[in-house]
Amino acid sequence: MSPDLTPDHLTTDSPGPGLPPVAASVTAELVEALSPRLRKRLDAGVAKLAARPVVRDGDTVRIAVDDDTDLVLHAPGGTVASADAVRCGCLLAPDCLHRAAAASAAPVADDATEPTEPTQEAQKVQGEKEAETAGPEERAAARAVFAAAAAVLEAGTDGAGAVLQAELLRAAHTARLAGLPRASASAVSVVTGVRAARSADPAYRLADLADALGGALGVAHRLPHATGPGLAELRGTARQPYRPDGSLRLYGLFSEPVLTATGYAGAVTWTADAEGRLYTVSDVAPGGPGRATGAADRAVRIGDTSLTHRELARAGLAVSGATVSPTGRLGAGAGVRAVRASGAAWRAEPLGRLWDVPVADQVARALGGGHDLLFLDVTLMGAVREATGDCLLADCAGVPLRLATAHDAPALPYRDNLRLLAAAGGVGLRVVARLAPGPLPRALLLAAEHPSDPAARVDLGLDRLQHADLPAGRIPDAAPAPVVDEAPLHLLRRRVHQAVSGGRRVLAFPGSAAGDGARLRQVALGTAGDLLDGLHAAAADRARDAFGRLLPSDAGRFAGAWLASALYMSEAERALCAQAWGVTTIPA
């Protein structure tokens, strides 16, 4: 069917963004059912399927495998929840390659449900469970997650094909059934990152995948030995309960698009009350870039208000019977009432007090586990070229700050807006950014005052600046990047990231250490040097049998050495980040 003849209720797309999210257990089940011969062909089948068009008709998605065969996915509620919901018309069905390939190409369904108000009985059970030690079922599930994640690390993104991904998804499903939602979500995040890497997704970042892999391995490693409150934290919660919060008078701050590699998209609008507490209203559902850019013009789902997200970002909201999740998300239950109210400028009360908080205190709050938004007054100084692209150099209370894009998706205007702002050197702006921890002061730019009109504001992921929006006059030349005497942690970071990308083998080559451990010890980073040497030793350790043949590698040992290096690097960079921003004490 040609696009011009497609009825209004049908949409066409390519697999990946066009496929509905598939539950982790479904993908694992379909891949496990394949014969060994078909498993070897699965990655090729996923790539071949990616070239076929997708046709949506309500909750049904259809892929033309060839001229005579269709593959159909039924997704009631937007998610494929059972293996029976994936049907193929080929002669080998139901044990064909096509069903497993479709599930492996689709986004992983988010198992997290909408936050709900727990019953008293549920709260009692949860309280009793928090006091227990980990049970055999939980320990077994955690070990399964660790083993599957270690196998992915062993192979690297280049070798972690659909079969290894399915094994990690099965471990994630087992962890969820065992009451370990945090381990389950961490494992799914790794699969999502691996798929983004293998598909050359422009939004993919190696550092994000390394963080996800470290999170999955770390939780799975610690959980079998944890007790009490520590165990409860590692278990996590599948539901975030909304709690009553009475009446609220909120003022819109900004709105940002949401576009995830898991196939979800939408918008989140940030608001604040008179005391500076932050609240969010979100509209996120399965979808792609089109939904991310269009959700801002949808009405917010709270009470009877007809405000869109774009309007709420500049207006206000009066809420009665409010319910709020622990992360500040506003509930939209039947008892919630909301009406439009007047907003406030960023330089007026009560929003202005957000910018009155010293920058070091804001960074300390973010590093201590609070929200990671920074409210900054900056002077633009031009663009700085980095390996990942240009970023904006700005002066923030004497601190040379790098402002990077919050998302690299071409459909979102972040990158274009940053380039235009880089041409407005010398201009002072009030901005909202998200802290990016690292050894240099760095943040992801989300919203800013209009360059020519401080009374207006720009949501940099939704609004597009034009050259005419820049102040008139000569534009100063871009300032060179400041020279920073940075601790050589990049020697450890590079090897940690190389392992994620290329697997064990890239660290096992003779001479790959090349004295990096000794160099780290020379600058008083002895622990980093020892960890790096240990990582190389674990990568190169391959025993042989009596006939000189290589024995299977110890993926667990390599994963343990990698995890220790990753955790050290994370904590060291956190401390350096605090030092760079002038933070003296990080809240526990």
Is the preceding omega at residue 181 within 30 degrees of 0, hence cis? no
Q: Which helix (H) or strand (E) is 97 found in, with range?
A: helix 97-105
Higher-pLDDT residue of 405, 1 = 405
Higher-pLDDT residue of 145, 335 = 145
Q: What is the Cα–Cα distance from 372 to 425, expressed in whole angstroms?
A: 26
pLDDT the model gives residue 127 = 46
pLDDT the model gives residue 115 = 36
Give SS3 for 335.
coil
pTM of the model: 0.81
Higher-pLDDT residue of 461, 69 = 461
Tokens standing for residue 172: 């994630």
Place of tokens 């009109």: 453
Asked if the model's pLDDT at residue 122 lies above 70, the reply is no
pLDDT the model gives residue 13 = 40
pLDDT the model gives residue 51 = 81
pLDDT the model gives residue 111 = 63
**For residue 384, what pLDDT band results from cuts at 50, 70 and 90?**
confident
**For residue 386, what pLDDT band results from cuts at 50, 70 and 90?**
confident
pLDDT the model gives residue 1 = 31
Asked if the model's pLDDT at residue 382 lies above 90, the reply is no
- The percent of residues in the chain predicted with pLDDT above 90, rounded, is 52
pLDDT the model gives residue 183 = 95
Place of tokens 């994963």: 559
Burial track 514-553 (b if 16+ CB lie within 10 A, e otherwise): eebbeebbeeebeebbbbbbbbbebbbeeeeeeeeeeeeb
Among 443, 387, 392, 386, which residue's Cα sits nearest to residue 415? 392
* pLDDT per residue as tens digits for the range 196-232: 899 887 778 898 899 999 999 999 999 999 988 889 9
Higher-pLDDT residue of 526, 484 = 526
Tell me how long the chain is: 588
Average pLDDT value for the chain: 85
**For residue 4, what pLDDT band results from cuts at 50, 70 and 90?**
very low
Among 128, 384, 310, which residue's Cα sits nearest to residue 232? 128
Asked if the model's pLDDT at residue 130 lies above 70, the reply is no
pLDDT the model gives residue 383 = 86
pLDDT the model gives residue 468 = 86
**For residue 2, what pLDDT band results from cuts at 50, 70 and 90?**
very low
Residues 6 or more apart from 473 whose CB is under 8 A from it?
none
Work out the average pLDDT over 61-74.
89
Residues 6 or more apart from 486 whose CB is under 8 A from it?
439, 440
SS3 content of the chain, % helix, strand, coil (to 5): 40, 20, 35
Q: What is the Cα–Cα distance from 18 to 55, expressed in whole angstroms?
A: 8
* pLDDT per residue as tens digits for the range 468-525: 888 864 444 444 545 444 568 888 999 999 999 999 998 887 665 668 888 888 888 8
Of 178-187, 297-306, 312-321, the poorest mean pLDDT is in 297-306
Of 168-177, 285-294, 304-313, 437-446, the poorest mean pLDDT is in 285-294
Give the count of beta carbons closer than 10 Å to the beta carbon of residue 222: 16
Residues 6 or more apart from 536 whose CB is under 8 A from it?
495, 507, 508, 512, 513, 517
Higher-pLDDT residue of 292, 114 = 292
